[in-house]
Amino acid sequence: MIVSRRSVLCIMFVVLMLADIGVGKAMISAYSSPNSITAGDDKARKDRIQKTESDFQENEETYGESETEELDVSGVEIDITDDEVPCILGTPFDDLYDSSDDEYFSIYQNEYSKLLSCSYVGDNSVTFCLDQKFSKLSFRLGQWEMEKDNHGIVSIYKGKSAKESSLLLRVRRKPAERDKSYSVDVSDCNFITIQTKSNDFGAAAPLVTNGFKVTYK
């Protein structure tokens, strides 16, 4: 039987069409199947995203709680020479104290660690930056030696200088006066200046203390 060229071409066309239809159905079936690889990958990706977001939120909450706990220093008392309190004018261990971290006893046998610089000459003053973080300044004073009639004078000023108009507290310690504690409100102070002096031109007034303490709000 003789088959024309045109008939052969028609048969080949039909075969190719049937093949294309079969492949298309297979692709559609695979793509729409709920168990297909693409659908599974998509679900797994969504699950990973949700877990990551959940972990992030949990870690963020935990970090926030721990950070708040670390910063909760309300009521904590520290020495004013601590690194948390910047000294901007003067040097505490040159202008405020004659000596520190030693043992000194007042005339009433109370032990102290610092000897104050209370001389008549010189600018024995130091300025600290409080930045309104603290509620009060407190300190205790004792007489180290019985010296004539020398008065040790400790003045606390609001601001960066020793101006009478900004005086917050002035303590005059007389010889033989008993050890005593003092405190002053510094809650609205960005800066305070502590000044120590003697009322006698020729001699220093030997006062002892355990330091000036500030308390966080």
Q: What is the mean pLDDT of residues 164-185?
A: 94
Q: Count the neighbouring beta carbons within 10 Å of the beta carbon of residue 114.
A: 24
CATH number of the domain located at residue range(s) 77-216 in this protein: 2.60.120.1060
More confident residue, 25 or 152: 152
If you count them, how many residues does the chain have?
217
Report the C-alpha gap between 14 and 94 in whole angstroms.
Answer: 106
Q: Are 84 and 69 in contact (CB under 8 A)?
A: no
How do residues 30-45 score in pLDDT, each as one tens digit? Answer: 445 444 456 666 667 6
Q: What is the mean pLDDT of residues 79-97?
A: 91
Q: Which amino acid is at 212?
A: F
Q: What is the mean pLDDT of residues 102-123?
A: 87
Distance between terminal CA atoms of the chain? 110
- Report pLDDT for 28: 47
Q: Are 42 and 173 in contact (CB under 8 A)?
A: no
- Report pLDDT for 128: 98
Q: Count the neighbouring beta carbons within 10 Å of the beta carbon of residue 206.
A: 23
- Report pLDDT for 53: 64
Report the C-alpha gap between 50 and 27 in whole angstroms.
Answer: 30
Q: Which range has the worst mean pLDDT, 30-44, 93-107, 138-152?
A: 30-44
- Report pLDDT for 201: 73
Tokens standing for residue 87: 């000294």
Mean pLDDT of the chain: 80
Report the C-alpha gap between 184 and 111 in whole angstroms.
Answer: 23
Half-sphere exposure of 149 (CA within 13 A, CB side): 0
Q: Which residues is 87 bridged to in the sheet?
A: 128
Report the C-alpha gap between 200 and 152 in whole angstroms.
Answer: 9
- Report pLDDT for 59: 64
What's the predicted TM-score (pTM) here?
0.66
